A and B are shown apart, each in its own frame.
Chain A
Amino acid sequence: MNESLSHIFVDALLINNFVLCVFLGMCSFIGLSGKFSTAWRMGVSVMFVIIVSSILAYGTNILLVRFHAEYLRIITYIVIIASTVQLTEMFIKKNSPSLFRAMGVYLPLITTNCAVLAVPLFQTSRNYNFIQSVVFAIAASGGYTMAIVILSLVRERVELSDVPNLAKGTALTLILAAILSMAFMGFGGMGNGE
């Protein structure tokens, strides 16, 4: 595996956007994108958790391979993520109690955000080295933040328009996400023709 850093970055950020093209982190993407203010905060916390846990997971994986305990990979990764989330929770609670209240149940739920678990798994299966892993984590989480922020802005606009009662809620959000996802498919041409 010898991908250039810029290729990894653009690929994870746009071409294979974690939310809109690979379908990771859907629950929070749909549940927390109602308001711009919550959406970007969620995005930033997820970014923080992903980057920290990706670095920790890289180190842990070296140990696991050394001791031939690869079968423990899923379990160790989830423990790393859960502790990082706990750390973030304590940090936010200390620094911004209002944000802590706004995030509510979704903060502990970052643990069960698939995007967070997927980054360490992908970086392991693609054999990225340390720098590549960090770039991949930044780009993937940046892609998540970008997608959730864009969707929240669109949803704030749609709030004001007259939609059929039946479609209000999740169904409408999914249709908006479909249109966004189609827009992101346009980036497909930027890769090496895949």
Chain B
Amino acid sequence: MDQPVSCHPATPQQSTPEQTMTAFTAGLWKQNPVFVMVLGMCPTLAITNSVRNAIAMGLATTFVMASANGFISLIRKLVPKQVRIATYILMIATSVTIVDYLVKAISIPVYKALGAFIPLIVSNCLTLERAESYAGRNPIFKSILDGLGMGLGFTFALTCLGTVREVLGAGTFLGFPLFGPNFEPWVLFLLPPGGFITLAMWLLTFTLWRERAAKRKKAREAAEQIAVEAA
């Protein structure tokens, strides 16, 4: 990923199995598209008012990213540098059209719930960012894995948000009531402000975790330093 910006890598690198695995796992946690890179905000906020919609949206995006990354990686050496963005967008738009018709064929209720946000995967910054920074310069298998990993990380983040919003806003999880009949749902969380607040709280939580981890690491290093000096 830290290769210099070029569409034509001079020598194809031999990748080890571990590197291939990193392509897949990076998106899941370390470079989570929503919590770390803060990309693809529109569906993250708009579609997460129920867990079911969140998962459906996440899977649709995963499919688009895996197939678009695959196509782009396949033709990466044929595309002149000047028109690469336009080409990437066309590839992504093609995959999105496929997904649009697939979802319509699989489930009409889900299609209606996701509404305009399926065609809008085209303009999800996440898909273009991965095409530009990964699929445009990596071999096809790794690019597909990267698309899958990023997409699943995106699904994970959407599910996190959807869980909070559905549990607080409707008192249900995947449609099953969690609390007794006396539960008064906190409707605000299903409405737009709830989306903003939930995402803000998740981001705060993750920043807190990362800061704590950094602090612990620093303390451990200091302790080791002292131990070395004492020895």
Contact = CB atoms under 8 A, between A and B. Distances in A.
Is the pairing of A and B real?
yes
Interface in A42-75: 71-75
Interface string B75-114: 0000000000110011001101100110000000000000
Contacts of A1: none
A172 to B, nearest CB: 8
Contacts of A24: 42, 46, 120
Interface in B120-143: 120, 122-125, 128
B196 A175 contact: yes
Given A21-B192, A74-B119, A79 B200 contact: no
A96 to B, nearest CB: 23
Chain A, interface size: which category? 35 or more
Nearest to B47: A23
Interface string B180-193: 00000000000111
B41 A113 contact: no
A185 B204 CA distance: 25
B192 to A, nearest CB: 5
Interface in B137-186: none
Interface string A90-133: 00000000000000000011011110111001100100000000
B203 A174 contact: yes
B187 to A, nearest CB: 11
A118 B207 contact: no
B208 interface: yes
A135 interface: no
Nearest to B211: A166
Given A25-B42, A74-B119, A171-B207, A82 B101 contact: no
Contacts of B208: 166
Contacts of B122: 74, 78, 112, 117
Given A23-B46, A74-B97, A170-B38, A114 B120 contact: yes
Nearest to A86: B86
Interface in A1-31: 20-27, 30
Contacts of A112: 89, 122-125, 128
Given A79-B90, A114-B124, A174 B101 contact: no
B197 interface: yes
A190 interface: no
B196 A174 contact: yes
B196 to A, nearest CB: 3
Contact of A111 (B123, B196, B207): B123
A178 interface: yes
Given A78-B93, A121-B116, A22 B197 contact: no
Interface of B: 38-39, 41-42, 44-46, 85-86, 89-90, 93-94, 96-97, 100-101, 116, 119-120, 122-125, 128, 191-197, 199-200, 203-204, 207-208, 211
